[in-house]
Amino acid sequence: MEYRQLGKSGLQVSVIGLGTNNFGRRVDAKGTDTVVSHALDVGINLVDTSNSYGGTLSEEYIGRALKGKRDRAIIATKVSSRMGDGPNQAGNSRQHIMTEVENSLRRLGTGYIDLYQIHFPDRNTPIDETLRALDDLVHQGKVRYIGCSNFTAWQVCEAIWTSQTLGVAPFISVQPAYSMLDRRVETELVPFCVQYGLGILPYYPLANGFLTGKYRRGEPVPEGTRLAENDRGMFTDKMFDLLEGLERFCAEREHTVLELAFAWLLANPGVSCVIAGATKAEQIVANSKAAGWRLTEDEMGEIDRLLTA
């Protein structure tokens, strides 16, 4: 497994991370233990979750799975989502953050969180209040690094400028939806992160599963898959033409489109780690295998031509 610095911080993370939004929903406690243990065994150290995943069960199951193995994992969790009815149960206020960090620490069974991320922007809370609260947690030792998710480029810029002005801990990472089929962040967010040294942690690298190889033109959609519930506009002739072109490119090199999806993202030096969900041990093996494929400049050019045709 390859490891990279998370942005310009000193924290080293595996280039493939473990996404856990299925823990507590499609994966029970025993299954979580199996997946987490297998991830650690193949060298994956970044375990990404949220206080809201699985109705809080994701954090709880991860805490159990990491018992006796805490030193092998980088735990990244998030705060922002609504956790109850009434006021102060959502968002990025000091009140909500200070309450929820204690709940996350308890569920995870740990004394500290390696990377505490703001899950969503909150227009009702000034960013300086959020950053001051997070900085206090860093000084208390409850949180080691901070990051954000689903922020636009201007929102990340505002946060970095505010942290510099206040002299408080800055975000070291940004977690956006990013894949070969969803490149919207390349316009502003990716260049900003590269220029200012924030690590990019793409989620949905497989475009909601379309790049897994599960879906075939003219064939029934596999039951229980993400796109079986909502095809998200993916099942068109144009998208299948693109998928089949990528499959031919991969077949010539004895790789899969799944491996290409990860390798393509990791060819971007601004990407520190690709967050990949897994519900079974064999998915961990498939995901980690992609870390070894290094795309050449010529191959990247050929892929770009396929994606923009």
Rounded Cα distance, 135 and 131, in Å: 6
Structural domain including 204 reads 3-210+259-295
**Per-residue tokens: 147:** 């990051």
Residue 179 included in any domain: yes
CA 19 to chain centre: 6
Residue 192 included in any domain: yes
pLDDT, tens only, 57-67: 999 999 999 99
- Looking at residue 193, its pLDDT comes to 97
User: How long a stretch of residues is the chain?
Assistant: 309
- The phi and psi torsions of 149 (rounded to 5 degrees) equal -140, 145
Structural domains counted in the chain: 1
Residue 300 included in any domain: no
Instruction: Give the confidence band of 27 by pLDDT, cuts at 50, 70, 90.
Output: very high
Q: What is the mean pLDDT of residues 108-120?
A: 98
| Mean pLDDT score across all residues of the chain | 93
**Alpha-carbon distance values, 209 to 8, 24, 124, 236, 291 (Å):** 31, 20, 34, 15, 18
pLDDT, tens only, 136-178: 999 999 999 999 999 999 999 999 999 999 999 999 999 999 9
Residue 122 included in any domain: yes
**Alpha-carbon distance values, 241 to 237, 301, 307, 309 (Å):** 6, 18, 10, 10
Residue 24 included in any domain: yes
pLDDT, tens only, 251-302: 999 999 999 999 999 999 999 999 999 999 999 988 988 888 899 999 999 9
Residue 248 included in any domain: no
- Is 3 among the catalytic positions? no
Could you tell me the CATH number of the domain that includes residue 142?
A: 3.20.20.100
pLDDT, tens only, 65-85: 999 999 999 999 999 999 999
Residue 23 included in any domain: yes
Rounded Cα distance, 1 and 227, in Å: 30
pLDDT, tens only, 189-244: 999 999 999 999 999 999 988 898 887 877 776 766 666 566 667 778 888 889 99
Residue 93 included in any domain: yes
278 contact partners, CB below 8 Å, separation of at least 6: 18, 19, 35, 39, 284, 287
- Looking at residue 262, its pLDDT comes to 96
**Per-residue tokens: 255:** 């790789």
- From the list 3, 53, 61, 196, the catalytic residue is 53
**Helix, strand and coil in the chain, % to nearest 5:** 45, 15, 40
